[in-house]
């Protein structure tokens, strides 16, 4: 499998199999070579304007986010900074072509995106190339331009063009890429970029707080702000920030993990348990299960089952055995508790707390109070989020999903992909949704639900002609309320009230309980009454 690394806000396929993020390579109908790692380097500032220096890192963040939604597996900014540090290079290093290749090889990357930006009047011009590392080949220059106020749309357009270079068969429309970034305010994004690149902690905090003030639903800024609060041990504020990240964010699992930790540290054990449980339902990794067990135990309940699950997932971690030993001792299972404590010491022989506990448990207690003290140390918390482990687990889940899909007939596969795409569409993830709908059509073009879904995507991105075409294609295959509703909304927007009313009526006939059809029928009737 080829590998493409990108420094950006998405962690790769971490959330794919769970329905938390874009679909896996296995779900692609085109058979394109996805799952690659792309190293997107900060762009060169050709504007000679220091005030626009922040766009260097913004380019990498935006491109990486879109590549991830397009099905690639970008690395995040922290991975790139780690590689720079490994090579002894400073964070603000601007690599030459030779050093870029060295960086890519250090990260085991097959491709790099290198680019620059400049101003031409009021227009921002962004250009980039794809470097094939193993073959030392460079693509033709790809360029996008637009008003500086539309900076995000410029880089979204560039991302689409670069995706077509990486995968010539990629079929998602450019309008969908651009629509994905329409909700992001440029001023909030600038404050976010300044917040993650500023060396001074107080300044980082100030910029990130300004970012979320300007855009209260900007998940990456909330995630970065949560990290800052957590690092400063402001756990209540950190928990509140992580809670704002949202389930549609690529950082959702990490946010849930650190929210759970933050809640643990200021005594909200019930909420901490719920936070860890939410993460474990997606990826039940041992550190998550362990911390959920700690949260349960701190409420006076038995967390032993969760500690056992953590040990089953990774029996090499001493703390999981230590926690299970403590839990067993509380429940009166003295012999098994000693076994687990001995196993903990076998894995970490110099653990002074475990050594003291073992000695105490082996010495008969003189009083009941003394016995309770010996049997009741605090459980140990895993304080770090292993993003690599989460990525690896997600890849395994993707492979399992690939096997399941491969076993289905083309029609069943198309229906499954269309259902997943519909879920993304309902959550506003247009790019991911269109990609899966396209895969569904590629698997079996006679599935009406896939065409109806594409019609709604096209409607949301403003491509009226394509939306109407897909809706009509769906209805030619099967009567679907969703397709009639797309046509009704298009007719209503165009002022064709009679046609809109007929389409809404057809949708209601197919689905009398549809709230969308009912609301649309009322809107059409109100507009018709106002016109009369």
Q: At CB < 8 A and 24+ separation, what contacts does 376-380 make? A: 376/326, 376/329, 376/330, 377/326, 377/353, 379/293, 379/294, 379/297, 379/298, 379/303, 379/322, 379/323, 379/326, 379/327, 380/290, 380/294, 380/319, 380/322, 380/323
Secondary structure percentages of the chain, helix, strand, coil, to 5: 65, 5, 30
**CATH topology for 284-395?**
1.25.40
User: Which option is the CATH number for 183-267: 1.25.40.10, 3.40.50.1220, 1.10.10.10, 3.10.520.10?
Assistant: 1.25.40.10
Q: What is the pLDDT of residue 25?
A: 38
Q: What is the pLDDT of residue 462?
A: 93
Nearest to 385 by CA among 71, 3, 11, 2: 11
Average of pLDDT values for 332-360?
A: 95
Calpha distance 206→198 (Å, rounded): 10
Calpha distance 206→328 (Å, rounded): 47
- CATH number given to 13-154+167-175: 3.40.50.10610
Over residues 123-134, the pLDDT tens digits come to: 999 999 998 877
**Is the distance from CB of 340 to CB of 325 less than 8 angstroms?**
yes
Distances (CA, A) of 476 to 23, 313, 471: 28, 51, 9
The CA-CA-CA angle for residues 210, 259, 247, to 5°, reads 80
Calpha distance 147→149 (Å, rounded): 5
In this model, does residue 369 exceed pLDDT 70? no
Q: What is the pLDDT of residue 72?
A: 86
Residue with tokens 């569409």: 425
Phi, psi angles (nearest 5°) of residue 67: -60, -40
**Is the distance from CB of 66 to CB of 177 less than 8 angstroms?**
yes
Banded pLDDT at 92 (limits 50, 70, 90): low
Banded pLDDT at 98 (limits 50, 70, 90): low
In this model, does residue 103 exceed pLDDT 50? yes
Over residues 445-459, the pLDDT tens digits come to: 999 999 999 999 999
* % of the chain residues with pLDDT over 70: 87
CATH 3.40.50.10610 residue window(s) in the chain: 13-154+167-175
Ramachandran area for residue 429 (φ above 0: left; ψ -120 to 50: alpha; else beta): beta
In this model, does residue 372 exceed pLDDT 70? no
CATH 1.25.40.10 residue window(s) in the chain: 183-267, 284-395, 396-531
Q: What is the pLDDT of residue 7?
A: 31
Sign for the CA dihedral angle at 281, 287, 293, 297 comes to negative
In this model, does residue 97 exceed pLDDT 90? no
Q: Which top CATH class is 396-531?
A: mainly alpha
Sign for the CA dihedral angle at 144, 135, 66, 231 comes to negative
Banded pLDDT at 10 (limits 50, 70, 90): very low
Average of pLDDT values for 356-380?
A: 72
Banded pLDDT at 364 (limits 50, 70, 90): low
In this model, does residue 89 exceed pLDDT 50? yes
Q: What is the pLDDT of residue 214?
A: 97
């Amino acid at each position: 499998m080829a590998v493409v690394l990108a420094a950006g806000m998405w962690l790769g396929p971490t959330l794919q199999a769970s329905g938390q993020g874009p679909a896996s390579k296995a779900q692609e109908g085109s058979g394109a070579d996805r799952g690659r790692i792309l190293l997107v380097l900060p762009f060169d500032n050709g504007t000679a304007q220091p005030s626009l220096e922040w766009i260097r890192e913004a380019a990498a963040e935006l491109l990486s986010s879109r590549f991830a939604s397009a099905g690639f597996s970008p690395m995040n900014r922290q991975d790139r900074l780690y590689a720079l540090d490994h090579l002894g290079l400073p964070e603000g290093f601007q690599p030459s072509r030779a050093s870029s290749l060295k960086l890519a090889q250090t990260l085991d990357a097959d491709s790099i995106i290198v680019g620059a930006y400049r101003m031409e009047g009021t227009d921002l011009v962004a250009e980039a190339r794809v470097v094939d590392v193993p073959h030392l080949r460079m693509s033709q220059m790809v360029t996008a331009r637009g008003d500086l106020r539309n900076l995000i749309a410029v880089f979204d357009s560039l991302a689409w063009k670069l995706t077509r270079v990486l995968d010539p068969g990629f079929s998602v429309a450019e309008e969908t890429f651009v629509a994905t970034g329409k909700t992001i305010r440029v001023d909030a994004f600038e404050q976010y970029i300044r917040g993650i690149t500023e060396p001074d902690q107080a300044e980082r905090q100030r910029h990130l707080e300004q970012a979320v003030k300007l855009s209260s639903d900007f998940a990456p800024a909330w995630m970065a702000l949560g990290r800052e609060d957590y690092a400063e041990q402001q756990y209540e504020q950190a928990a509140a920030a992580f809670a704002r990240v949202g389930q549609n964010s690529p950082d959702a699992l990490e946010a849930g993990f650190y929210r759970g930790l933050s809640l643990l540290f200021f005594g909200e054990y019930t909420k901490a348990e719920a936070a860890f449980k939410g993460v474990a339902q997606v990826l039940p990794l041992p550190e998550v299960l362990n911390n959920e067990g700690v949260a349960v135990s701190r409420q006076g309940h038995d967390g032993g089952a969760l500690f056992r699950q953590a040990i089953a997932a990774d029996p090499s971690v001493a703390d999981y055995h230590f926690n299970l030993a403590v839990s067993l001792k509380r429940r009166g299972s003295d012999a098994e508790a000693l076994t687990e404590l001995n196993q903990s010491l076998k894995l970490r022989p110099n653990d002074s707390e475990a050594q003291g506990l073992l000695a105490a448990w082996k010495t008969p207690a003189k009083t009941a109070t003394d016995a309770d003290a010996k049997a009741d140390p605090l459980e140990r918390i895993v304080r770090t989020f292993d993003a690599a482990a989460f990525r690896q687990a997600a890849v395994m889940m993707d492979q399992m999903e690939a096997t399941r899909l491969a076993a289905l007939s083309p029609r069943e596969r198309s229906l499954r992909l269309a259902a997943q795409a519909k879920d993304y569409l309902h959550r506003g993830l247009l790019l991911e949704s269109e990609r899966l709908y396209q895969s569904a059509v590629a698997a079996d073009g006679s599935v009406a639900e896939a065409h109806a879904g594409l019609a709604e995507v096209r409607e949301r991105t403003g491509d009226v002609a394509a939306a109407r075409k897909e809706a009509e294609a769906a209805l030619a295959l099967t009567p679907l309320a969703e397709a009639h509703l797309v046509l009704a909304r298009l007719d209503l927007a165009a002022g064709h009230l009679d046609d809109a009313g007929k389409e809404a009526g057809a949708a209601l006939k197919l689905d009398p309980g549809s709230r969308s059809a009912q609301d649309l029928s009322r809107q059409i009737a109100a507009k018709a009454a106002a016109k009369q």
